[in-house]
Structure formats: structure tokens, C-alpha cells
Chains A and B, each alone.
Chain A
Amino acid sequence: MYPAPIEAYFAPRSIDEALQCLAEAGDDATFIAGGMSLMQAMKARLVEPRVLIDLNEVEELRGLARGPRSLTVRPMTRYRELAATSALHGALQALGDAAATVGDRQVRNAGTIGGSLCWNYVASCMPSACLCLDATLVLASLAGGTRSVPIKTFLVGPLETARRDDELLIEIVFPASIRRGVGSAYRKYGGAVDGLPIVGIAAQVEVDEAGLCTHARFSVGGILPTARAFDGVGEILRGRPGTPAAFAEAAAAAADAIETQGDHLASAGYRRVLIRTLGRDVLAEAHARASNGAGR
């Protein structure tokens, strides 16, 4: 119900200051972003941080920036902002879709993409969306400067990432060619509307002028140990027109290939059903968006 006693609280205003705080506070210090996961854990006393470093006042950790071949999303960007921005239209729309259906309005007003990735809860939306969109994460530390980690390496297991304790996530970089003909989408099934994903699926599809798929990426969240991508979808769709049969075949292949767990929310078998059906629909939607882009 109530957090354990906290000894110190800092609200740094810059990345440097945040890293400085962390270095000084040592082991028991924790960053707090939107707090939508961390506060749950603190109130349940699953974690009892001695020192809290609040990232909400660090202006340079917020917002989006477009580069020539990439889009950088800074970690303190909130779901509400991701859901509303037009910067994601087209190739990165899956991220907007995912952000728009996280939890509820109040959670979307507070929660951040960076917090979600660093927490890496099994039933979460950002990890699978970012995996599909092939993000690269930039981590900074006082000792080691910055390093880039591909999302695939970053996501390790339930509540586990490749981030070292002394590191701050400062950027999430998405490859974003300005070419048309790329579309992506995300959908989830969580039992209730906007519920935590029992299965969440992101797909990105690229089509050529003739409407044939040239490339596709596909990832699944809600499964143990962590969100996973399935490259077979790209192989199945390459060179084929985007037909319902093709999407169904690709999603079925993913459902067969990806190992799923059973729990009291859903059996492993039902999770495969969800991958098959949601997967097919997400591919179709990504394809439709890609085709719209290509036609424009």
C-alpha cells in the first residue's frame, strides 16, 4: 500500500546531472520515469529503493527527433505523445498503435516508452513493438560514455534487460527510411479492452510498386521469457502479393514456431490461436498502410 521509507529524492534537470546523482547514490538508487510500474512495485514493497532519481524534469530525455534515415524517440516520451504524433505515421505506426492502447488515459498521460523498455514486463506493449521496428537503444553511463544496444540484445527476460545498473537509457533509435511503401501495425488481446497483453503483436510490411511484399518483420509480446521476433514471416511473404491467405499462412507459421507459455490467463495453445488470428490481422493492417503509402 505504501512505499518503504525513502532516504533521498533527486529531480535532476539534465542527463549529466542524472548520471551524477546515480553515481553518488550508489547501489540502492533507482530512476523513476512515469512510475506506472515502479510505483506498483514500491507500494507492493517488491522493491524498496533507498534513493529515487526522478527523470521527469530532464528536458533532454523528452520528445522525438527525425534524422535522415532514422527517428529518435527519447525515453521520457509519454504514451500520450506517441499515440498523438504524426511522426510515426507509416513505417513506425505500430509504436503509435501500441502506445494508444496501453492501460488507460491516466496511465498514458504518465507512462513512458523508456520506462516500459527498461522494466521489460512480460505483459507489455513497447518491447514487442520496438523489437518489430528494429530499435537501437542508446545507454549512457558516467564511466563508460554511451553505447548502443540492439533491442534484440537489450530484452533479456522477464524484468531483465541488458542495461547495467549504472546506465541511463537516453535514446531509442528507429531506422526510418523516407521511402514510401512501408507500413506497420500493433494489436493486442488482453481479455478486457486495453488490458495488459496476453498476446500483443507488431508487424511491419514493405511493398513495392507492384504491391508485392519485399520485406516483413513480425514480433510477439506477452510471452516468456520476453518479446520475440519471428523472421519466418518475412521469408514467407517475400515476393508475394498481400492476400489474406498469405497473411494467414505467415501468422500460422509464427504461431507454430514461437514457443508460448500457459498461465491462468490463457493456455499455451490459446496464445498460439491469438498469434495466428491477431498476427494475420496485424499483417493485413500493416500491409494496407504500406500500400496506402506506396500509392500516394
Chain B
Amino acid sequence: MTTAQAQATLYHDIPEARDVKVAIAGVDVHYGDKQALFDVSMQIPDRSVTAFIGPSGCGKSTFLRCVNRMNDTIDGAVVTGSLKIDGTEINDKTIDPVVLRASVGMVFQKPNPFPKSIYDNVAYGPKIHGLAATREELDGIVEQSLVKAGLWGEVSDRLTDPGTSLSGGQQQRLVIARAIAVNPEVILMDEPCSALDPIATAKVEELIDELRENYCIIMVTHSMAQAARVSQMTAFFHLGNLVEYGPTEEIFTNPRERRTQDYITGRFG
């Protein structure tokens, strides 16, 4: 099967029931002279978790950063091709990354709470974007976000403590709360559990599963089990190419590509 045909089939693998949130077509990414992504096209459904898997250095993070234009902050990174959210082209000079990032949140591998109180960490987005007119409103947003992130019970009595005083798992959920405080449409997560112990991981996975109700979540993971547990769609990248993309059960039980199968069964990677 040629690549073109493979990709043509991929488009149809989106379950009808869900509408497309992010549509990507022909994306190339260069870091200076080095090309990191080759002609990637895919459609990502809303209200579901899409997992990116693949060996280290294959371009998962790079691709993820295209969706909220974080590649703009890297000197020498050039992204070409089309990226649409709800049909609006975002890989375009006229689109302001600031506005875009307000609706595309991101969570990083290592929890990175700001050197502020727990409250201020969550209130950071609403404050800079001016989402809350009054203090009460802000309090409300902070509480809601912490509740959604499943952290409220643990921190409601110590909101003024520094964010860095929390445990690693709590910090990661704090960062997720921070991301959802601005009501994003898409949440990107780059290996959100790789720095966490199993219990914290389980909590975060649970949280991701809940958030799926309301958000389009794209996550990178190195754990096959995690991809299988939490994602509905899975994309497999290799050497900068999108090799295979489809519903998670299909990818894991019946991959079409030899390389996918080898990777999932641990024969390389």
C-alpha cells in the first residue's frame, strides 16, 4: 500500500459519531536544515483522547507543539502545511498564537508549577486573559478548575501555599487545573505521567478520562498500556512520519503496518 493510499484510508477511520476537532494536512517541520516531520496528515476527533506513540526522537513532541504553535518560540523551527481547528486555519501569520494558546492548553512532561501560590497558579490564565471581572468570579474559576482536576479536596485549605510544595502527582494535576482554568478547547499533554509514580499516574489517567467528556485531548505517551487504557484514537510515528492512525483497539489488536506491530510488541523502539 502506498503512503498516499494509506493516508486516504486513514481519513475514513474517524468514527462517524464524533466530529473532527483538529484537521491536519501535509505538515512538514524543519529545525534549521534538519527536517523533523514529513508530510503529516490526520484528523483528530473532539471529546476524545488521541494518543501519539512512537520511538524516541520520532517527532511526537514536535507535532504536538504544532497544534498550539509552541514551535514559534524555538529559533529556526519552520512549520508548513495546514492545521485547522474547527475549520479555522491556525498555521497562519494572521492567527495570534496568544489567542490560539488560550484555547489550546498544554501540559508538559515534568510538572512545572510557577513559583507562586496554588491559587495564583490556577488563576494565572484567567488573570492574564482578563477572564474574571471580579475577585469572586476568579475564586469561582479557581475552585471549579481544581475540582475538575480532582485536586480541590487535597488543597482547598492550603491555597496560599506555593505550588512547588505539592507532590509530583499533585503538581501535575495542578498544572492540568491551570490549563483548564481558561476553558480551552484542546488540551495537549506531552508524556504527562512519565515523571510520576504508579499511583499518581493512575490518578492523572483517571482525570484525563473524565476530562474527555468536555475536551479534545491529545497526549504523547511512551507507555503502550497507558495508550490502550485512556485513548480512543492512536497515531504511530516513526522517523518523522505518521505511519498509522486509527481507533486504539484496531491499532493494538490489528495493526495494518508491519512497523506498528513491531513497535507495539516491543521488537524495536
Are A and B a genuine interacting pair, yes or no? no
Binding site for B on A (CB under 8 A): none
